Amino acid sequence: MTKAIKTVSENRCFGGVQGVYSHESDATSCEMTFGLFLPEQAAHVPVPVLWYLSGLTCTHENAMTKAGAQAWAAEYGIALVFPDTSPRGEGVANDDAYDLGQGAGFYVNATQAPWAPHFRMWDYVAEELPALIGANFAIDPERQAITGHSMGGHGALTLAMSLPGRFASVSAFAPIANPTQSDWGTKQLGAYLGDDKAAWEKHDSALLMREKGFDGPVLIDQGSNDQFLDLLKPEALAEAMTAKRQDGVFRMQKGYDHSYFFVSSFMEDHVAFHAEAMLG
């Protein structure tokens, strides 16, 4: 039975439609909201889809309104999905810190109290939301790619390497690249997954890159003036890509920081990169 989707808003955008929708989620046991841009081609045929996972403190709205991705997606006839970053609402566990709890789901399935009942963002992004969108919108499930920023870059990379064959390509803007060795990771992975470090390693893109690599092309952009460089640990991912001889490019962008000014500056490159992988 197809789950009910509620339309929050729909706006004409670059010839297509930028929508915001909500639904009751089985994975997170609460109402979830997501953004979906459909290019004009989706009115006639199923279209390829690029997933964009956002970072700490963000909702579905940040990239949807700040990244400038719709213009380039419309040019290539690609849909964009903007999931939320965590479960939300009354009864959902939270923390006073910005980097734990609501807005900081880290794209994992929590096993520890008080997070386990709702914080199942891996299942939500990997399984439930793709099935929901595929059942309700003109999306081609055989042509998917994924990208993300910061915590979302971490999620994009770990999902792509853990779900071989799902995504034609993966990219990231300033990803949290080595969370098992960073305060942006040890705190959250410990809270959500407990003390079992083996469980943490399944969500570390530098470790996954060394172990598995990705079965397609990779594009990483990192700003040299990023105020969070010591927390992101991009060098670990760059070294892992080299050691694995991964098909990919790691670019250090001189003078750029961690903001959406950085993301929007290179969004055209990333959409074109994914379009080539999905469309040829």
Has residue 177 been placed in a domain?
yes
Decide the pairing of beta strands 16-25 and 6-13. antiparallel
- Confirm whether 226 is a catalytic residue: yes
Task: Give the whole-angstrom CA distance, residue 63 versus residue 53.
Answer: 9
Q: List the CATH number of the domain containing 236.
A: 3.40.50.1820
Has residue 53 been placed in a domain?
yes
Q: Mapping DSSP to helix (H, G, I), strand (E, B) and coil, where does residue 239 land?
A: helix
Indicate whether 66 pLDDT > 50.
yes
Is residue 106 exposed (0-12), middle (13-18) or buried (19+ Cβ within 10 Å)? buried
Has residue 159 been placed in a domain?
yes
* Catalytic residue (one of 118, 154, 203, 258): 258
Indicate whether 249 pLDDT > 60.
yes
Total domains in the fold of the chain: 1
Has residue 269 been placed in a domain?
yes
* Catalytic residue (one of 84, 204, 221, 226): 226
Has residue 18 been placed in a domain?
yes
* Catalytic residue (one of 150, 169, 171, 205): 150
Distances (CA, A) of 75 to 70, 108, 173, 178, 207: 9, 33, 21, 34, 35
Has residue 11 been placed in a domain?
yes
What confidence tens digit (pLDDT) does each residue in 178-235 have? Answer: 999 999 999 999 999 999 999 999 999 999 999 999 999 999 999 999 999 999 999 9
* Domain span including residue 211: 6-279
Task: Give the whole-angstrom CA distance, residue 11 versus residue 13.
Answer: 6
Has residue 1 been placed in a domain?
no
- In this prediction, residue 280 has a pLDDT band, given cuts at 50, 70 and 90, of confident
